[in-house]
Amino acid sequence: LVLLGLVAFSECVVKIPLRRVKTMTKTLSGKNILNNFLKEHAYRLSQISFRGSNLTIHPLRNIRDVFYMGNITIGTPPQEFLVVFDTGSSDLWVPSDFCTSPACSKHVRFRHLQSSTFRLTNKTFSIEYGSGTMEGIVAHDTVRIGDLVSTDQPFGLSMTESGFEGIPFDGVLGLNYPNISFSGAIPIFDKLKNQGAFSEPVFAFYLSKDEQEGSVVMFGGVDHRYYKGELKWVPLIEAGDWIVHMDRISMRRKVIACSEGCEAVVDTGVSMIKGPKTLVDNIQKLIGATLRGFKYYVSCSAVNTLPSITFTINGINYRVPARAYILKDSRGRCYSSFQETTVSPSTETWILGDVFLRLYFSVFDRGNDR
């Protein structure tokens, strides 16, 4: 994994731009904009040489700085779905026309009888996310991400869903390691990698902010025009999950969490920054946030006076200013993006979600587990 400072987004190879939508209930029917990208300008990472021009840049859609989703298609002829590209999970799934849950009825469902390349198995599985749960069955079909095509790709069809009723995306495309898969199916990134679709086994995210379009996920290479500075590589604690060692979290040069080192999960499928309840509660107190309902609010007029919070990873300070960790709800009220984790691991663990990743371009290197 590598974290970098961002610059303005640039033109892309295969681009489906993100559109930020004012309300989650609006139909996500924004026009896709296709921009040609000069593939020969792919940045050569140290120890990674991008042979040829196998760089695919796929647009994402920014919904209220909370969700980042992109289009994929499944089946023959293709059926289109909006999915979250999630580094916190490994399974690809979408709703099925078998599903009768209320959440399924509000999203696009895969019509298996209309696909000539569909193949069903008898394997079932279930996944529990922070926002909900799904139970499904494994099937195979042709899946496309822009110009990337995976034939006979195993994926999940949800039979029941809970907790996804008000969520704007249809399904999830997991980008974690295969050993994290609940279905046991080979993740689409691994299948594409094995069939030689990429010059190098890396993918990267640029997440836009503040009403901007242009968020992308890129596969097989890195376009250097999406960031400034140098790549700062961080080794994974162990191959098999996007978890790194974090040195400390500080505010005004005082350590406020992770005082003896801790683990940090780099998760594009999580909107906020999450940590242990006692430490998160202390941060809310330090920034003067008060609990109202399910969120901690601050005065919008005070945001410019709030301190930055610094996450030190592999000796590098990654500063998160208040304008980044304070968000606005649908009524224009300002709230803290720090949340407590729903699980209690044995070691202190923080989840660095989109609030953090909007500030720092992130590259995930499967070839070198970093």
Residue 326 has pLDDT above 80, yes or no: yes
Q: In the predicted model, is pLDDT for residue 370 greater than 60?
A: yes
Would you say 69 and 21 are in contact if contact means Cβ atoms under 8 Å apart? Answer: no
| The pLDDT of residue 15 is above 70 | no
> Could you give the residue numbers annotated as active site?
86, 267
- The rounded distance, in Å, linking the Cα atoms of 220 and 55 is 5
What is the set of domains in the chain, with CATH numbers? 53-225 (2.40.70.10), 227-365 (2.40.70.10)
pLDDT in tens, 175-184: 999 999 999 9
Confidence of residue 346 (pLDDT cuts 50, 70, 90): confident
**Cis peptide bond prior to 178, omega within 30° of 0:** no
Residues 299, 303, 307, 313, CA torsion sign: positive
Q: What is the number of other CB atoms lying within 10 angstroms of the CB of residue 102?
A: 11
Q: What is the mean pLDDT of residues 16-43?
A: 32
Q: Residue 360 has what pLDDT?
A: 97
> So what's the pLDDT on residue 285?
97
Q: Could you give the CA distance from residue 192 to residue 142 in angstroms, rounded to a whole number?
A: 12
Structure tokens at 186: 């080979």
pLDDT at position 1: 55
Average pLDDT over residues 229-239: 95
Measured CA to CA, the distance from residue 124 to residue 370 in angstroms comes to 32
By the 10 Å C-beta count (0-12 exposed, 13-18 middle, 19+ buried), 258 is classed as buried
1-10, 34-43, 223-232, range with greatest mean pLDDT: 223-232
pLDDT of residue 3: 53
Structural contact between residues 319 and 310, judged by C-beta atoms closer than 8 angstroms: yes
Give me the pLDDT at residue 12, please.
34
Confidence band of 211 (pLDDT split at 50, 70, 90): low
% of residues, the chain, pLDDT over 70: 85
Average pLDDT over residues 112-138: 95
pTM: 0.86
Residue 291 pLDDT exceeds 70: yes
At 45 the pLDDT is 42
pLDDT reported for residue 345: 78
What are the tens digits of pLDDT across the range 35-71? 232 233 333 343 343 444 579 999 999 988 889 999 9
